Amino acid sequence: MSRSNPRVLATLERAGGFASAQEVYQLMQREGESIGLTTVYRALQSLLSDKIVDVLRRDDGEAIYRLCGDTHHHHLVCKSCGDTVEIEGGAIEKWAKTMAEEFGFREVGHTAEIFGICSKC
Protein backbone atom coordinates (compact mmCIF):
# COMPACT_ATOMS: atom_id res chain seq x y z
CA MET A 1 0.00 0.00 0.00
CA SER A 2 3.04 2.27 -0.23
CA ARG A 3 1.70 4.43 -2.99
CA SER A 4 3.76 7.40 -1.90
CA ASN A 5 5.78 7.09 -5.05
CA PRO A 6 9.26 8.41 -4.26
CA ARG A 7 9.74 9.78 -7.75
CA VAL A 8 6.69 12.00 -7.27
CA LEU A 9 8.02 13.20 -3.94
CA ALA A 10 11.43 13.90 -5.49
CA THR A 11 9.80 15.88 -8.28
CA LEU A 12 7.78 17.92 -5.84
CA GLU A 13 11.00 18.75 -4.03
CA ARG A 14 12.67 19.69 -7.28
CA ALA A 15 9.74 21.98 -8.05
CA GLY A 16 10.56 24.01 -4.97
CA GLY A 17 8.23 22.00 -2.78
CA PHE A 18 5.18 23.68 -4.26
CA ALA A 19 3.23 22.42 -7.27
CA SER A 20 -0.09 21.13 -8.52
CA ALA A 21 -0.63 17.55 -9.61
CA GLN A 22 -0.70 18.63 -13.23
CA GLU A 23 2.55 20.51 -12.83
CA VAL A 24 4.29 17.59 -11.19
CA TYR A 25 3.09 15.39 -14.02
CA GLN A 26 4.28 17.77 -16.72
CA LEU A 27 7.60 18.26 -15.02
CA MET A 28 8.16 14.51 -14.91
CA GLN A 29 7.17 14.18 -18.55
CA ARG A 30 9.58 16.91 -19.62
CA GLU A 31 12.36 15.25 -17.71
CA GLY A 32 11.67 12.04 -19.56
CA GLU A 33 10.22 10.10 -16.65
CA SER A 34 7.60 7.59 -17.57
CA ILE A 35 4.60 7.97 -15.31
CA GLY A 36 0.84 8.26 -15.64
CA LEU A 37 -1.23 11.18 -14.45
CA THR A 38 -3.32 8.81 -12.37
CA THR A 39 -0.26 7.64 -10.51
CA VAL A 40 0.77 11.20 -9.77
CA TYR A 41 -2.64 11.91 -8.28
CA ARG A 42 -2.56 8.75 -6.25
CA ALA A 43 0.94 9.42 -4.99
CA LEU A 44 0.03 12.93 -3.91
CA GLN A 45 -3.01 11.69 -2.05
CA SER A 46 -0.93 9.12 -0.33
CA LEU A 47 1.72 11.66 0.62
CA LEU A 48 -1.09 13.79 1.91
CA SER A 49 -2.59 11.15 4.14
CA ASP A 50 0.89 10.27 5.37
CA LYS A 51 1.18 13.96 6.24
CA ILE A 52 4.33 14.31 4.20
CA VAL A 53 2.72 17.02 2.13
CA ASP A 54 0.15 19.70 2.69
CA VAL A 55 -2.55 20.84 0.33
CA LEU A 56 -3.70 24.36 -0.43
CA ARG A 57 -5.93 25.85 -3.11
CA ARG A 58 -4.93 28.36 -5.70
CA ASP A 59 -7.34 31.13 -6.55
CA ASP A 60 -8.64 29.17 -9.52
CA GLY A 61 -9.37 26.19 -7.31
CA GLU A 62 -6.51 24.00 -8.43
CA ALA A 63 -4.96 22.04 -5.57
CA ILE A 64 -1.32 22.68 -4.88
CA TYR A 65 0.80 20.39 -2.76
CA ARG A 66 3.77 21.35 -0.72
CA LEU A 67 6.28 19.67 1.49
CA CYS A 68 5.57 20.36 5.07
CA GLY A 69 7.48 20.01 8.28
CA ASP A 70 5.75 18.30 11.16
CA THR A 71 5.37 21.31 13.41
CA HIS A 72 1.78 22.44 13.29
CA HIS A 73 1.55 25.79 11.59
CA HIS A 74 -0.64 27.90 9.38
CA HIS A 75 -0.07 29.74 6.16
CA LEU A 76 -0.05 33.26 4.91
CA VAL A 77 -0.44 32.98 1.16
CA CYS A 78 -0.12 35.61 -1.54
CA LYS A 79 -3.16 35.49 -3.82
CA SER A 80 -1.11 36.88 -6.64
CA CYS A 81 2.22 35.05 -6.70
CA GLY A 82 1.45 32.11 -4.43
CA ASP A 83 4.32 32.93 -2.13
CA THR A 84 3.79 31.38 1.27
CA VAL A 85 4.92 32.20 4.75
CA GLU A 86 4.55 29.73 7.57
CA ILE A 87 3.24 31.36 10.69
CA GLU A 88 2.63 30.52 14.28
CA GLY A 89 -0.91 29.87 15.31
CA GLY A 90 -0.93 29.82 19.07
CA ALA A 91 -3.92 32.15 19.20
CA ILE A 92 -5.85 29.88 16.86
CA GLU A 93 -5.16 26.75 18.83
CA LYS A 94 -6.53 28.37 21.92
CA TRP A 95 -9.54 29.79 20.11
CA ALA A 96 -10.39 26.44 18.52
CA LYS A 97 -10.12 24.65 21.82
CA THR A 98 -12.24 27.20 23.65
CA MET A 99 -14.99 27.27 21.06
CA ALA A 100 -15.10 23.51 20.78
CA GLU A 101 -15.41 23.11 24.52
CA GLU A 102 -18.13 25.68 24.70
CA PHE A 103 -20.27 23.65 22.30
CA GLY A 104 -19.32 20.26 23.65
CA PHE A 105 -17.25 19.06 20.71
CA ARG A 106 -14.42 16.57 21.10
CA GLU A 107 -11.62 15.26 18.91
CA VAL A 108 -11.19 18.74 17.64
CA GLY A 109 -9.05 19.90 14.75
CA HIS A 110 -8.99 23.05 12.71
CA THR A 111 -7.87 24.72 9.54
CA ALA A 112 -6.91 28.33 9.12
CA GLU A 113 -5.35 30.25 6.30
CA ILE A 114 -4.67 33.89 5.79
CA PHE A 115 -4.41 35.22 2.28
CA GLY A 116 -3.67 38.60 0.78
CA ILE A 117 -1.29 40.39 -1.53
CA CYS A 118 2.36 40.31 -0.54
CA SER A 119 4.66 43.33 -0.54
CA LYS A 120 6.36 42.28 -3.80
CA CYS A 121 3.13 42.12 -5.78
Partner DNA sequence: GTGGGAATGAAAATCATTTTCATTTCTGCT
Partner DNA sequence: AGCAGAAATGAAAATGATTTTCATTCCCAC
Q: φ and ψ at 109, to 5 degrees? A: -135, 175
10 binds, among a second copy, DNA, none (CB under 5 to 8 A by kind): none
Among 9, 15, 18, 20, binds DNA (CB under 7 A): 20
Across 75-86, b (16+ Cβ under 10 Å) vs e yields bebbeeeeebee
> What type of residue sits at position 110?
H
Alpha carbons 65 and 78: distance in angstroms, whole number: 15
* Number of Cβ within a 10 Å radius of residue 108: 10
Sole window of 31-39, 79-87, 90-98, 104-112 interacting with DNA (rule: CB under 7 A) = 31-39
Among 21, 47, 53, 68, binds DNA (CB under 7 A): 21
Which parts of this chain interact with a second copy (CB under 8 A)?
57, 59, 61-63, 76, 78-79, 85, 87, 89, 91-92, 94-96, 99-100, 103-119
For residues 35 and 83, which CB has a smaller minimum distance to a second copy in the complex? Answer: 83
Give yes or no for residue 111 binding DNA (CB under 7 A): no
Coil/strand/helix, residue 101: helix
Positions touching DNA (CB under 7 A) are 1-3, 5, 20-22, 34-39, 41-43, 45, 61-63
